[in-house]
């Protein structure tokens, strides 16, 4: 029977059979030593000239050859033990050795030590990259992650149900992947951006609590914390729930368990704060605030209303006090200023507090009482720096929100062993789309507006309407999005009608769900956690691609399988498609 390397400590004095890859081979004249690797670790094989066939076979072995060996497990001499390896105090004296398969020289490094191959090369040969111990550990940890999630959901009476992959187009905020129908010419399926409509229909179908680890497909640009094409989320829904707090309290213990028991990290606060969207934007400049550090935005608009400094003669002036910011070098200030400009700011005005004095290019434009008030409101102390933003309120919040993150990165304020959770609640139901100069949905059109039909009809400024919608943020990453659902056809028609969509349009796009709601739909609510993104943060991975077995690269290309790729004319004909040259 094949023995895994991690189980050999209990087999001393016994004959065992092991198999795996040659991690390294050392020829010491009369003895040959082979470090044999499997997915659990390394064991040293010792081949002596007494075993002629085994010794002869061992002489021809090279790294990454696949072999099996039979022999007796023994303890190593004390002076020969290797404390850096889990099995470093034992070895196998080989009696029989069999070469299973040879290997060409590898194009990528399969060890965690030494020079790391470039990402594109590693993704092209991902099946080899997965041999690295750290990647093997990641795959095992991911499986453990799923086990904990499933166990928790099962214990809380959720039923695991899979939903269709070939579905209809749904407005989730990203482009769909379309699949042409062979048997219905000119018509298309869409790969689901989320199982949103199906899970709501399950609630209509009498399912009390649903969940699935769901594949989702979105044609979005990739980035460090977002995979291209497909990703997985923990999708769940609860029937007879009309308050988002019920959902939040149900799933929150699972995330705490993943943080503390699975990842072994410390929660910054056992009590997870609820922060309104408006408060989050005003205090942190983002709806995804990292609460591991302060650096809150301080409103100085009223204080500097009559200021002589022209830059501050704007609708909104805010500041961030950066403890120890006085230590920033000229180069760092220049880099931060450039970042501010990229985020819509004209520049980056600042005041340094040093030795009881004020050092700043703008100090000469400010009155003594204004300088005193700035220091008082920001709480700046000796050695601190205060950075300003001035413009329209939304622009100031956005620019300083990005600066807040940059300050934390520069000063090393993000403790990777701590996790700060928060719920962002009360999102605006509608938002203004500046690009198209029109009102649009702020988030999810299937959310229930607080106040229901009355709120939609009677609120004059539609931007004031609030959705019963919520996100969980984990160390500045959006890890979950959820809402109380709109299960009333009349409200559904009204929220779309506010944007100029006709009842006919709504019925055509969402007829399946609307028809179902006419037959006694219960109130329901739910949420979905981005499992890949959350795992990346919990395992301290540099990129989300490091926690997925077979990701695409940063350009959305699968270098290993060569996709996307062209197809032949017959396939196009069957799908009723034609390629038109640009």
Element spanning 229, H or E: strand 229-239
Q: What are phi and psi of 546, to 5 degrees?
A: -80, -10
The whole-angstrom separation of Cα 360 and Cα 337 is: 14
Using DSSP, state whether 433 is helix, strand or coil: strand
Instruction: Return the structure tokens found at 301.
Output: 């608009």
What per-residue confidence (pLDDT) applies to 4? 58
Our measurement of the distance from residue 579's CA atom to the centroid of its chain's CA atoms, rounded to an integer in Å, reads 35
The whole-angstrom separation of Cα 129 and Cα 136 is: 9
At CA 340, angle to CA 338 and CA 346, rounded to 5?
Answer: 95
Residue for token pair 């703008």: 362
Residue 194, judged by CB atoms within 10 A of its CB (0-12, 13-18, 19+), counts as: buried
Nearest to 491 by CA among 450, 521, 439, 456: 456
What distance separates the 2 farthest-apart alpha carbons in the chain? 95
CB count within 10 Å of CB 250 equals 19
| C-alpha distances in Å from residue 419, one per residue of 185, 291, 306 | 51, 9, 42
Residue for token pair 């400049």: 285
Sequence-distant (6+) residues with CB within 8 A of 258 are 145, 148, 149, 534, 538
Report yes or no: 167 and 215 within 8 Å, Cβ to Cβ: no
H-type helices in 224-367, by residue range? 244-257, 277-284, 330-342
The whole-angstrom separation of Cα 362 and Cα 380 is: 17
228 dihedral zone (left: phi>0; alpha: psi -120 to 50; beta): beta
What per-residue confidence (pLDDT) applies to 435? 85
| C-alpha distances in Å from residue 346, one per residue of 322, 341, 400 | 20, 6, 12
Is it true that the peptide bond before 564 is cis, omega within 30 degrees of 0?
yes
- Identify any residues that bridge with 34 across adjacent strands, giving them in sequence order: 25, 45
The whole-angstrom separation of Cα 417 and Cα 538 is: 9
Which segments of 263-327 are extended strands (E)? 266-267, 274-276, 297-299, 316-322
Where in the chain do CATH 3.30.930.10 domains reside?
A: 135-272+419-548
CB count within 10 Å of CB 429 equals 28
At CA 410, angle to CA 406 and CA 413, rounded to 5?
Answer: 90
The whole-angstrom separation of Cα 84 and Cα 69 is: 23
Element spanning 67, H or E: strand 66-75
Instruction: Return the structure tokens found at 199.
Output: 């899970």
Where in the chain do CATH 3.30.1360.30 domains reside?
A: 293-413
Where in the chain do CATH 2.40.50.140 domains reside?
A: 5-101
Instruction: Return the structure tokens found at 80.
Output: 């020969």
Whole-angstrom distance between the N-terminal and C-terminal Cα of the chain? 61
Instruction: Return the structure tokens found at 170.
Output: 């749904």
Sequence-distant (6+) residues with CB within 8 A of 91 are 43, 44, 45, 46, 73, 74, 76
Q: What are phi and psi of 142, to 5 degrees?
A: -65, -40
The tens place of each residue's pLDDT in the chain, 582 residues long, gives 355 555 787 888 999 999 999 999 999 878 999 999 998 889 999 999 999 999 999 999 999 999 999 999 999 988 888 888 888 899 999 999 999 999 999 999 998 888 888 999 999 999 999 999 999 999 999 999 999 999 999 999 999 999 999 998 765 567 899 999 999 999 999 999 999 989 999 999 999 999 999 999 999 887 777 889 999 999 999 999 999 999 999 999 999 999 999 999 999 999 999 999 999 999 999 999 999 999 999 999 999 988 888 889 999 999 999 999 888 888 888 888 888 888 888 778 999 998 888 888 898 899 899 999 999 999 999 999 999 999 999 999 999 999 999 999 999 999 999 999 999 999 999 998 888 889 988 877 889 999 888 988 989 999 999 999 999 999 999 999 999 999 999 999 999 999 999 999 988 888 888 899 999 999 999 999 999 999 999 999 989 999 999 999 988 999 999 999 999 989 999 999 988 887
Nearest to 63 by CA among 33, 107, 22: 22
| C-alpha distances in Å from residue 129, one per residue of 29, 42, 118, 119 | 33, 17, 11, 10
What per-residue confidence (pLDDT) applies to 1? 38
Residue for token pair 């082979």: 34
Instruction: Return the structure tokens found at 195.
Output: 């199982």
What per-residue confidence (pLDDT) applies to 3? 52
Buried b (16+ CB within 10 A) or exposed e, 104-122: eeeebbbeeeeeebebebb
The secondary structure of residue 383, as a DSSP letter, is T
CATH class of the 293-413 domain in this structure = alpha beta
User: What is the CATH code for 135-272+419-548?
Assistant: 3.30.930.10
Using DSSP, state whether 397 is helix, strand or coil: helix
User: What is the CATH code for 5-101?
Assistant: 2.40.50.140
């Amino acid at each position: 029977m094949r023995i895994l390397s991690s189980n050999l400590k209990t087999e001393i004095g016994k004959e065992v059979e092991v198999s795996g890859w040659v991690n390294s081979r050392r020829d010491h004249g009369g003895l040959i030593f082979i470090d044999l690797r499997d997915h659990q670790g390394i064991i040293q094989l010792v081949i002596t000239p007494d075993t002629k066939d085994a010794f002869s076979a061992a002489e021809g072995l090279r790294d990454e050859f696949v072999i099996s060996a039979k022999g007796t497990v023994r303890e190593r001499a004390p002076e020969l033990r290797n404390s850096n390896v889990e099995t470093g105090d034992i070895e196998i004296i080989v009696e029989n050795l069999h070469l299973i398969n040879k290997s060409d020289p590898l194009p990528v490094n399969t060890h965690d030590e030494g020079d790391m191959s470039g990402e594109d090369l590693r993704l092209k040969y991902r099946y080899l990259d997965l041999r690295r111990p750290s990647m093997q550990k990641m795959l095992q940890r991911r499986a453990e992650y799923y086990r904990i999630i499933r166990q928790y959901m099962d214990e809380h009476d959720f039923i695991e149900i899979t939903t269709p992959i070939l579905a209809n187009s749904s407005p989730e905020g990203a482009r769909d992947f379309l699949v042409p129908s062979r048997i219905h010419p000119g018509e298309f399926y869409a790969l689901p951006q989320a199982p949103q409509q199906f899970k709501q229909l399950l609630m209509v179908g009498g399912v009390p609590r649903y969940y699935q680890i769901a594949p989702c497909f979105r044609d979005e640009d990739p980035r460090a914390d977002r995979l291209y094409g497909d990703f997985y989320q923990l999708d769940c829904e609860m029937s007879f729930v009309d308050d988002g707090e019920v959902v939040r309290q149900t799933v929150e213990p699972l995330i705490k368990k993943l943080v503390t028991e699975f990842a072994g990290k410390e929660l910054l606060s056992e009590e997870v704060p609820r922060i309104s969207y408006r408060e989050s934007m005003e205090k942190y400049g983002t709806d995804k605030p990292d609460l591991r550090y302060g650096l809150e935005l301080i409103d100085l608009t009223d204080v500097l209303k009559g200021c002589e400094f022209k830059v501050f003669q704007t609708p909104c002036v805010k500041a961030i006090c950066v403890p120890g910011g006085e230590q920033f070098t000229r180069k760092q200030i220049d880099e931060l200023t450039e970042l501010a400009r990229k985020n819509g700011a004209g520049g980056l005005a600042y005041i340094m507090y040093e030795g009881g004095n004020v050092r700043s290019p703008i100090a000469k434009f400010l009155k003594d009482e204004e300088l005193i008030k700035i220091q008082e409101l920001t709480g700046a102390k000796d050695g601190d720096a205060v950075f300003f933003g001035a413009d329209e309120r939304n622009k100031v919040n956005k620019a300083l929100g990005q600066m807040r993150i940059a300050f934390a990165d520069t000063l090393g304020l993000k403790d990777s062993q701590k996790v700060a959770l928060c719920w962002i609640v009360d999102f605006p139901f509608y938002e203004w789309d500046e690009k198209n100069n029109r009102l649009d949905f702020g988030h999810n059109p299937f959310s229930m507006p607080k106040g229901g039909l009355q709120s939609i009809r009677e609120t004059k400024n539609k931007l004031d309407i609030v959705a019963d919608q919520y996100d969980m943020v984990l160390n500045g990453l959006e890890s979950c999005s959820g809402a109380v659902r709109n299960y009333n056809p009349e409200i559904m028609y009204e929220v779309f009608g506010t944007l100029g969509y006709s009842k006919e349009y709504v019925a055509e796009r969402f007829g399946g769900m609307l028809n179902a709601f006419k037959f006694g739909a219960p109130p329901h609510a739910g949420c979905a956690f981005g499992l890949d993104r959350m795992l990346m943060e919990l395992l301290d991975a540099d990129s989300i691609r490091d926690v997925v077995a077979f990701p695409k690269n940063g350009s959305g290309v699968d270098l290993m399988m060569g996709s996307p790729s062209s197809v032949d004319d017959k396939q196009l004909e069957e799908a009723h498609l034609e390629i038109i040259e640009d």
